[in-house]
Amino acid sequence: MKSISLLTIAIVGAVAFASCKKKKEDEPQPQQETQVEGPSKKQQFLSTYASIAHTSFTEAKTAAQVLQTAINSFVGSPDASKLEACKTAYKAARVAYLQCEVFRGPVGNPLDSAGAEGFINSWPLDEGYIDYTFADNGGIVVNTDTVKINGKLQGYVNDRTKTISDVNLLGSNGEGSDANISVGFHAIEFLLWGQDIYVDSPGKRPYTDYVTGTSATAPNADRRGEYLKVCATILVDILDQVAEKWKPDVAGNYRANFLATSRVDASLKSVLSGMIKLTKGEFGGERILPALAEDASQEEEHSCFSDLTKDDFKYDVIGYENILTGVYKQQLTGLTLVNSIGLSKLVEEVASAKASNLAMAIADLKSKTDVVYNATLPYDQIIVKPAGNSDKAAVQSMSDAWVKLSERLNEANTALGYEVVNPDEE
């Protein structure tokens, strides 16, 4: 009997909570008068959201084109400084792309649908599928001899029976053969930096991996260069395709449907629930928590070849900030490209306290992320430290701040009259 009544409490809590929430929608709201303007504010925000999406993807595409140019030049006549130029261009392309990750929220969004995200940012990477690797010892790469199987080097690059083309590399990302993530940022990262087998630095792939002839440090340099170029082409193409779907004034594209007058509430709900789920589950959860486990491996980080994972954290946050403020600034130049009605403004209309809570949550997340960003140790060295040290605590605080942001977004969502979102649902 005791267990029944405990169970009842839980259930009744849920039922009653749901009913309470439901009631709110049905009942006249205190903000009834201002609601006449409400929808148009919602539309203004959605329009801002779409503009920032288009700008973000266009910026990412442009940065990827710069990277592509650098890569083509490097592969044409490889030298150390051109490899550096590629790395610099890669970093800039990441900064632009990471701000696009916030757009993974809405149902059917162009980044997630048709597998675009998988071609751009798949992780973990099957690097042994792409090119030679060093032997590992079950925990950390210790042996600087390259792995040979039946006397041959690993990887697509080193299998001269396989043709390197965009169709072939994209084809391997299909249903069923998803083992072989062969393209995207992290593939390029691996081809530029190589494996990170070092404590104090990212990967140190020599530029001579791309030099044919006597100074070559690895066989199949021609194919390696070709592979890298094809990856860059694919990245530009796919970012361009996604940007097109957010382009203004194109009848029937995703943006047009997203902004349709009849779909205002559906789109806004979808935006909010996507943000609520991703902030908690993905950014605060899966991208961080496995690395906080006691026995986490050194490279349980997304940018494991270049040691740029701290950038990943930082610019993902900026992506969210862009939506809240309604402002998009080019990170490198500080140039403002969009400045309009952000989510905070929209929420302010119905509940100013919730809006300031949101602002505080994003500010807190930024500062917590900065602590990690400014830590002396690279992220992979923080991961392998034992629990209880201040760096790991900082990573935990960053995770907590993401979860807090999720809660604040949920409150804003409720204030806008929508049902509470379960952040743990996929």
Partner 1 sequence: MFYNQVVMTRILAILIVIGLVACKKKASEERIQSIEAIEKETGVDPLEAYLAGSASVNDASNGAFGIQAPNVPSDRLADFQVGNSFFRDIWVTAPSSTTSRDGLGPLLNASSCGACHTLDGRGKPHDELFNPTSSLLFRLSIVGLGNHGASVDEPNYGGQFQPKSILGAQAEGEVKLSYIEMKGKYADGTFYTLRKPTYIFQNLAYGAMDPSAMVSPRLAQQLPGLGLLEALSEQTILSNADPNDLDADGISGTANYVWDEASQSNKLGRFGWKANQPSIRQQVAGAFNGDMGITSTLFPKEGLTTQQGELYKEFPNGGLPEINDSRLDQVTFYCATLGVPLRRNISHPDVLQGKALFAQIGCEQCHLSKLKTGNYTLVPQFSNKTIKPYTDMLLHDMGEGLADARPDFNATGSEWRTPPLWGIGLVKTVNNHTFFLHDGRARNFEEAILWHGGEGGKAKEEFTKLTAKQRQQLIFFLENL
Residues 276-335 that bind partner 1 (CB under 8 A): 281, 285-286, 289-290, 292-300, 304-305
> Per rule CB under 8 A, is residue 7 in the interface with partner 1?
yes
> Per rule CB under 8 A, is residue 426 in the interface with partner 1?
yes
> Per rule CB under 8 A, is residue 373 in the interface with partner 1?
no
Query: Is the CA virtual torsion 370, 398, 117, 342 positive or negative?
Result: negative
Residue (24 or 247) nearer to partner 1, CB: 24
Contact (CB, 8 A) for 59 and 96: yes
CB of 144 to partner 1, least distance (A): 12
Q: How far apart are CA 144 and CA 190, in angstroms?
A: 16
DSSP 114: G
> Per rule CB under 8 A, is residue 393 in the interface with partner 1?
no
> Per rule CB under 8 A, is residue 19 in the interface with partner 1?
yes
Residue (17 or 374) nearer to partner 1, CB: 17
Select from 46-54, 136-144, 236-244, 338-346 the region that touches partner 1 (CB under 8 A): 136-144
The two tokens of residue 131 are: 């090119």
Q: Which x/- pattern over 394-423 shows residues binding partner 1 (rule: CB under 8 A)?
A: ----------------------------x-
E strand spans, 147-280: 148-149, 152-153
Residue (243 or 394) nearer to partner 1, CB: 394
> Per rule CB under 8 A, is residue 135 in the interface with partner 1?
yes
Q: How far apart are CA 24 and CA 157, in angstroms?
A: 60
Residue (66 or 266) nearer to partner 1, CB: 266
CB of 63 to partner 1, least distance (A): 24
Select from 67-75, 84-92, 123-131, 240-248 the region that touches partner 1 (CB under 8 A): 123-131
Contact (CB, 8 A) for 236 and 68: yes
Q: How far apart are CA 216 and CA 220, in angstroms?
A: 9
What residue has token string 């592969």? 75
Q: Single out the residue of 38, 155, 184, 274 in contact with partner 1 (rule: CB under 8 A).
A: 155
| Count of residues touching partner 1 (by CB under 8 A) | 74
Residues 175-234 that bind partner 1 (CB under 8 A): 175-181, 195-196
Q: How far apart are CA 43 and CA 316, in angstroms?
A: 25
CB of 310 to partner 1, least distance (A): 17
DSSP 282-332: IIIIITTHHHHSTT--TT-STTTTTT-HHHHHHHHHHHHHHHHHTEEE-TT
CB of 159 to partner 1, least distance (A): 7
Residue (157 or 416) nearer to partner 1, CB: 157
DSSP 420: P
> Per rule CB under 8 A, is residue 25 in the interface with partner 1?
no
> Per rule CB under 8 A, is residue 145 in the interface with partner 1?
no
Cα 405–Cα 95–Cα 227 angle in degrees, nearest 5: 130
> Per rule CB under 8 A, is residue 249 in the interface with partner 1?
no
Contact (CB, 8 A) for 297 and 140: yes
Select from 127-135, 251-259, 332-340, 405-413 the region that touches partner 1 (CB under 8 A): 127-135
Helical residues (DSSP H) of 125-197, grouped into ranges: 127-130, 166-171, 185-193
The two tokens of residue 369 are: 């992320």
Q: Single out the residue of 115, 128, 206, 417 in contact with partner 1 (rule: CB under 8 A).
A: 128
